[in-house]
Structure 1
């Protein structure tokens, strides 16, 4: 490992052409104090980087560690790679033309340009973040606190994207996913992805009698979605969408010590409406169950205490500091699409408002930051009433987490079921919990 005595500081490592000559982004490393490649032209610069900085495994290791910890150096290398039409493979620290792949023992790594960010030109190394870095747009901090505020708003997204808006939403979703894939540790990229449905697919609320008419309402809904998707692609428009969400009047929350009154007639009316929705989705068995439902528990201290008793507050699980020896699970695109299509029609959304139908509509037309884990992995609880007035909490998680679970089960479900044997009902056994419950009830009824 050889370093120059005068290593340039992070603030001095920005790559900008000087008199037509692009300086080396690794100046200060390996006896390259000034960063001048010797002559004009990108071929000379690329040859200089390969000959001097990427000539040995030790020097590659030094640069990989520096790029993964220095945000300014990461940006400089990305800018130089983008300008020269090259991409850097973080696994082997080799430069390649954009049309060429990098062959490894475990497969082929290729360059995939999504939105053209400089981070995309460094594959296999995430852009470093200090942990305190918060992106601010127009005075708006794009962080987990903003996500918490948006998730707490009582907003509803459309059940299905109108056909005329599906292509635009597909582009917006692809761009948001591309930014997450390019920088999986970026809180801003994840926040943008998670607030996309609520910002662009909100249900239009008519304000007068004319807007309440069926034809006008559908047309206004499409216009509202198209307008939001157009604004989403612009930074100023993104800020306006967020501010418009935060400016929405929130529903008045009933007091905990005074549960909201509910009559049998109102509960029956709600059940009938929900039954009609299930019938429209083709879920006839669920429609019959809804008619016999006792409804949602009233908002009050008793309900809250019952939920806490069934789901006590616990600290999040601690992730291991060491790297797992097993390779990550990889599934193909067909498997993911089948998992998306396997969600029943009308599947409820999580806190982000994204529905499985939204992803299907979009198709027809490294991990999440720890600070956002509670939002992606959590689920709101709906306290349904049991016939004996008990509480049955129903958790509805985000589509992203449920989709990953489905894909993982398709990948390892059969092997895990064989490994666990026949005396388990949790993995690879459809309706396993119900089978245990009914068997226990039958046994008790026969012998007691």
Structure 2
């Protein structure tokens, strides 16, 4: 059984962590600790968490599976292997591209990253980011100098298994990626196993004309409880290309909080999620257009079976000065069960008048006409349904340009279909 994580344990850990922090980190931890203590763990009384009650999920007892999938292997990548929330140097090769462990950076008396950590597109009242800031000690820092293009991807591999995956105060990891002007990098982030409770915050700083490709894969076991946030600032003519894939968990939430801070900045997120059993999967995004002539695109596609629950909250913010903004968001969900649930909450907050902004959301079952067409040509019903599900998702998966990463994502989708063929073969 997974351990129960309590607010009292978290607050005690926050106090202990403060006493060990480097001097330059003290003020940051103090501010985050105070704000977290005031708000506590997120629950349905907080509007942004109305459909995802973390406090309730952490007090529920869940059975942890013993048979877990092995984490994916990405050939020719530099690896940062985190085993149960601890960076394992014996399984890692991140030093080859100049990355450093967060533990080492936080221990430095005068770190060059002191003015960056916790200050990229700050989310002052975010309870989970504040908790993570107060307790972070494991993680990774990657700095790509001006004009450098990293030839190989960085694979951030998070794996949770065995008794060490459980903790009374959870595990809290921080990733910092800084791209200087004209730099390029590719980040592959995979999450496997069943953490009893983990928070992962990834901070991205993209300087002018830089480009980051970010593929994020959640292949959790059913008992996993994790909430994560990708917080980014995209500079002038810089580009962020994100692809997210998730199978949910007992509680799985990922937020993409991107600020388009320079003119002609562009952010695009494509996502696919496949959720079954009684799993919960929350995708929440905020695209903050702060200056003129910026663009953003969000396309999320979900397949839900069994008694699963999916949440998509997508917000586009356009500041008064951000004229000529072009922002689009779309959520499409396919329900394979009458017991499955999708909650969609698109939002536009526009304070400029010369913009192009749109949002759309659809939810429905498999196309009966398409299913009849395939069945009439001799294709068995289960296979026909699987083909339609794949066709629904393949457009999102095709946006992954790296062939090896795309193959891993498609393999995860195929495995999901095999495991949940019974739920996908008919509408319950």
Query: For the superposition of Structure 1 and Structure 2, which TM-score range results when normalised by the shorter chain?
Result: under 0.3
Q: Could you tell me the TM-score, scaled by structure 2's length?
A: 0.21
Name whichever structure is richer in strand by fraction.
2
Q: Could you tell me the TM-score, scaled by structure 1's length?
A: 0.20
Name whichever structure is richer in helix by fraction.
1
* Bigger Rg, which one: 1
